[in-house]
Chain A
Amino acid sequence: EPEVTQTPSHQVTQMGQEVILRCVPISNHLYFYWYRQILGQKVEFLVSFYNNEISEKSEIFDDQFSVERPDGSNFTLKIRSTKLEDSAMYFCASSADRGMQTQYFGPGTRLLVL
């Protein structure tokens, strides 16, 4: 069964460093998403992506965040200058289309900023 994969599973970085989280969505899906979950808190929407551009983004997704689909299979989330409060689990998801669609989630990347 097709699945969404994410790498790395865990990442530890120093404050101020850049990190890139990688995702491979399900191959025939068109919409891609990033969510984050700070430990003990609810999941929060960061950004959705379609046709090589951002479709929607939340207030959390400020200038230090960017997304890219560099090669037609990978979908990346870059955090330019990490802060302590960026420590969280980051989930990638994909769906076949937009709106009222089941989203399929990757296993997550646990990011720890020291």
Chain B
Amino acid sequence: ELKVEQNPLFLSMQEGKNYTIYCNYSTTSDRLYWYRQDPGKSLESLFVLLSNGAVKQEGRLMASLDTKARLSTLHITAAVHDLSATYFCAVDAYGGATNKLIFGTGTLLAVQP
């Protein structure tokens, strides 16, 4: 059964600092997604990573995927308060006509001024 581990669970950062969130998964998959969730809100899609070596960047966030290591990272550059939220990685456990997302535990990011 596919398992997804995300760390850290909680990250308190100062504005302007850099940090990385890690997402490890247990079985082969080449489809990984990063989502952002604000308190009480829905999941907002940030990145779709569909192949080994995929790297995508949007503003201060950059995500990468290494399918051989079964590892994805979400790098935050020069954090700002608006980035405070919970970030989830999700791995697509697909086969044939079925697919389902297996989510990590989430990382609660708090950016302090």
Answer whether A and B are interacting partners: no
